[in-house]
């Protein structure tokens, strides 16, 4: 992949819920390009369409109209299974509510995506421990979510998201359930992953100081892009050689 090609390109993307008179347009025409290594924060009031956009970017939902290119893939033409495989191989998810499997150790939670990749147990273990080490939790591998603090649970969730070495990390209000100190720690972690590993991060948030970590901020209003800060050139990316968009 050359640096000049955008990783994600949305054109005239729409999403309409319901039909006929009761139809509600959540997204009314989004145009967006993202490069590998970008750190995008999506902001907006509730009902602005930011969650819908996130779900479509995460291939959990399908657009009603427009185009979604992920690399060379036309995502809007994929069926359910193909989207699942795209998620498995290229995307990682972090949620507001952590969404770890209960009564399951941190290590097993991190191994979960690798299980679906069909990796043998020894390599799963190795990769999971490496990912936990990266988020600073190598000493908590055997703990279940109930034995971990909120910040630690979110770190485990981040380890689970990056253990497959995805192209894009999608974080839906990753600090929404955390206090300020832990929120900043999580944002530092995401920033570090973005800078050091060139991981593309897309984050939904409603907190300005969390959005400040991102290189680019998108404000949505009523299903349209209201404001786009554009790339923050004051924060050059390590992996980047030339701007792609």
Q: Which residues bind other proteins (CB under 8 A)?
A: 55, 58, 60-61, 80-81, 84-85, 87-89, 91, 93, 95, 99-103, 112-113, 115-118, 160, 164
The C-alpha atoms of residue 228 and residue 221 are separated, in whole angstroms, by 12
Find the shortest distance in angstroms from Cβ 231 to other proteins: 28
Find the shortest distance in angstroms from Cβ 82 to other proteins: 9
Among residues 202, 224, 222, 198, the alpha carbon closest in space to that of 211 is found at 202
Among residues 24, 18, 36, the alpha carbon closest in space to that of 239 is found at 36
Find the shortest distance in angstroms from Cβ 161 to other proteins: 9
The C-alpha atoms of residue 130 and residue 112 are separated, in whole angstroms, by 14
Cβ distance to other proteins smaller for residue 19 or 103: 103
Find the shortest distance in angstroms from Cβ 108 to other proteins: 9
Tokens 């910040």 belong to 151
**How much helix, strand and coil, in percent to the nearest 5, is found in the chain?**
35, 25, 40
Cβ distance to other proteins smaller for residue 48 or 105: 105
Tokens 């770890």 belong to 100
> Would you say 32 and 10 are in contact if contact means Cβ atoms under 8 Å apart?
yes
Return all residues near 50 (Cβ < 8 A) that are at least 6 apart. Answer: 42, 43, 44, 204, 220
Give phi and psi for 65, each to the nearest 5: -155, 170
Find the shortest distance in angstroms from Cβ 184 to other proteins: 26
Cβ distance to other proteins smaller for residue 87 or 216: 87
Cβ distance to other proteins smaller for residue 138 or 144: 144
Cβ distance to other proteins smaller for residue 117 or 192: 117
Q: CA neighbours within 13 Å on the CB side: how many for 143?
A: 14
Cβ distance to other proteins smaller for residue 101 or 238: 101
Find the shortest distance in angstroms from Cβ 95 to other proteins: 7
């Amino acid at each position: 992949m050359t640096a000049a090609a955008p990783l994600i390109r949305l054109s005239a993307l729409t999403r309409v819920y319901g039909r006929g008179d009761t139809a509600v347009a959540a997204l009314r025409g989004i145009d967006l390009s993202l490069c590998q290594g970008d750190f995008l924060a999506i902001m907006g009031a509730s009902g602005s369409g930011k969650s819908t956009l996130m779900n479509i970017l995460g291939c959990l939902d399908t657009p009603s109209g427009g185009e979604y290119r992920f690399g060379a893939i036309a995502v809007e033409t994929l069926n359910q299974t193909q989207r699942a495989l795209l998620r498995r191989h290229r995307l990682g998810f972090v949620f507001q509510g952590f969404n770890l499997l209960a009564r399951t150790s941190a290590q097993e939670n991190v191994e979960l995506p690798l299980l679906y990749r069909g990796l043998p147990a020894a390599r799963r273990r190795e990769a999971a421990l490496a990912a936990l080490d990266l988020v600073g939790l190598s000493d908590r591998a055997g703990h279940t979510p109930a034995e971990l603090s909120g910040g630690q649970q979110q770190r485990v969730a981040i380890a689970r998201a990056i253990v497959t070495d995805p192209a894009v990390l999608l974080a839906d209000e990753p600090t929404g359930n955390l206090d300020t100190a832990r929120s900043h720690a999580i944002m530092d972690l995401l920033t570090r992953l973005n800078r050091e590993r060139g991981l593309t991060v897309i984050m939904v948030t409603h907190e300005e100081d969390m959005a400040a970590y991102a290189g680019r901020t998108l404000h949505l209003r009523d299903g349209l892009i209201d404001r786009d800060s554009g790339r923050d050139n004051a924060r050059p990316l390590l992996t980047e050689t030339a701007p792609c968009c």
